[in-house]
Amino acid sequence: MRRQNPKHEQLIQHFKPVEMPDLVDAVVEQIRDLVDAGLLKPGDRLPSEKLLEEKLEIPRWSINKALRRLETYGIVKTVPQSGTYVANLGVEMLRGLLSNVIRIDNRNFDDLADVRSVLEAYAAELVIENATDREIQELQALHEDIYGKMKSGPGPHAVDPIFHLKLAELSGNSALKSVITLLISEMMQFRESFEANVDKGVYHERLLNAEEEHARILEAIRQRNVAGAREKTLSHFQATKSFRKR
């Protein structure tokens, strides 16, 4: 039986059951509070996800997602077979980063879409600059597969963001890929609530139109047309925003 770390037994007492509506933000906020109180310092190892799950009384997936979000921002680092550690940054730096990670209450879909549109337009430029013809063919095949699934009729549409994730991957910029992935994750929450309150047929038609917009982005990339790829990417996000407002 694995022996419990005495410091973890003491530290876990300062975590409290979560009552906030957003579980991921609540976990991040408690970690920030422990840093503010000096109970969690740079280099410290966090209690295990199992311990946190028991103490916070929330599903482990929300704890895992919170830790992955913090790792994306460089606030924690997971060491295989060892655990998750607070980054060796100054306390003030940690406080600032943690405050920025916690979701801003008035953030909205349009704000996220505006940021994503600029980043993905740049990603498309980098794909033209860095991707091989074979990699662009892989993007083409992926798009055709997604479009085929879309045309089969209304249903789960989680496959749609895969095109954007692949585009970010082919940019060759790992930092850009991480930020775009994070934004996609955030926007999926808006998408789920929106999809539940809109006519499925109308929504499916919009998704088909979106795949046609993807095709135009892809064609510009295949032609190595930087200006065209940027224009088509920005136009795609503008169409999505217009549809939601309508």
Q: What is the 3-state secondary structure (H, E, C) of 48-109?
A: CHHHHHHHHCCCHHHHHHHHHHHHHCCCEEEECCCEEEECCCCHHHHHHHHHHHCCCCCCCH
Q: Which residue has the higher pLDDT, 154 or 172?
A: 172
At 212-229, the pLDDT tens digits run 999 999 999 999 999 999
Q: Which residue has the higher pLDDT, 10 or 239?
A: 239
Q: At what angle do helices 49-56 and 23-36 cross, to 10 degrees?
A: 100
Cα distance between residue 75 and residue 41, in whole Å: 11
17: which 2 tokens? 């059951």
Domain(s) of CATH 1.10.10.10: residues in the chain = 6-101
Q: Are 44 and 86 in contact (CB under 8 A)?
A: yes
Q: Are 50 and 8 in contact (CB under 8 A)?
A: no
Cα separation of the two ends of the chain: 59
Q: Which of 23-37, 108-122, 211-225 comes out lowest in average pLDDT?
A: 23-37
Burial track 51-65 (b if 16+ CB lie within 10 A, e otherwise): bbbebbebeeebbeb
Four-way CATH pick for 6-101: 1.10.10.10, 3.30.230.10, 3.40.50.10190, 3.40.50.300: 1.10.10.10
pLDDT of residue 43 exceeding 50, the answer is yes
Helix, strand, or coil here: 223?
coil
- The CATH topology of domain 109-245 is Four Helix Bundle (Hemerythrin (Met), subunit A) (1.20.120)
Amino acid at 230: R
User: What are the residue ranges of helices labelled H in the chain?
Assistant: 6-11, 23-36, 49-56, 60-72, 91-101, 109-130, 133-151, 160-170, 174-195, 200-222, 226-245
pLDDT of residue 204 exceeding 90, the answer is no
Domain(s) of CATH 1.20.120.530: residues in the chain = 109-245
Q: What is the pTM of this model?
A: 0.63
